[in-house]
Amino acid sequence: MSERFPFGGDLPVRRLGFGTMGLTGPGVWGEPADRRQAVRVLRRAVELGVELVDTADSYGPYVSEELIAEALHPYPAGLVISTKGGLTRQGPGQWQAVGRPEYLRQCVELSLRRLRLERIDLYHLHRIDPRVPLAEQLGVLGELRAEGKIRHLGLSEVEVDEITRAREVVPIASVQNIFSLTRQRYRDTLDHCTREGIGFIPFFPLGRGELTDPDGPLGAAAAARGVPPAQLALAWLLHQSPNVVPIPGTTTVAHLEQNLGAADLSLTSAELAELGAHCSDTPAPPTG
């Protein structure tokens, strides 16, 4: 499996990133229980070679972006900060899509300020707002790209037809959908992205935690290999396509180091088939 994927053809990153949604309070709301620990985890991720850190203005809200800037700015060369906009927060666990062009422009401008960036390398529309024409939502993001404030654009939680319609308005470099060993609803979207050269960023790549449990569906297979279950789940994802860049998140350095070890784990076709038998149709959570 290739070591890097080039988003948009010119933005290469190592194929295991770090997701920061969990570096906030319960319900992805408010400050983390231990802010200093969150900063340590972010810094250690970069020390270990992570080149894609994913966030969103709605995580906290704003908390995750502010943590990234506090921990990592000035950013090392080659580090890509991916963020998202278009979801508003009404409270813990509450999310609502807002795709009005003036609001999306505000989202980008404020993310630039919080992240202390002049340009966001990878910016995702967090959700398509069904009340606003797609061309208007992506049109304003295309304008911001032309202004030099965004380098590459992406989508989140989308089907193939939505990607196709979006590409009629702006180039799409990335798709961020829920996907894991036990949640493969978007397999056709992954296949489409692979054919079209679009990056595919699985969020919740370890499910809702069941794929990290030694007594969970991967417990026996992981024990046989002598690796943590999470590492096996991530290695399976990396083998699905050279376009896959998972973004597992964690609040501890120990789990971070375990997760990143998945990049060095090779699986045989027989092992991949055996692990694939754990596929399920578990409903997706509403955020990511």
Q: How many residues does the chain have?
A: 288
Q: Rounded distance, CA 176 to CA 188, Å? A: 13
Burial of 110 (0-12, 13-18, 19+ CB in 10 A): middle
- Fill in the amino acid letter for 46: V
Active-site position among 59, 62, 75, 123 = 59
Name the DSSP letter for residue 284. P
| Catalytic residue check, 59 | yes
- CA neighbours within 13 Å on the CB side: how many for 108? 29
**Residues 201 and 174: beta-carbon distance below 8 Å:** yes
**Residues 25 and 31: beta-carbon distance below 8 Å:** yes
Q: Are strands 94-97 and 174-178 parallel, antiparallel or unpaired?
A: unpaired
Residue 230, classed as helix, strand or coil, is helix
**Cα 180 from chain centre:** 12
Q: Which residues are catalytic?
A: 59
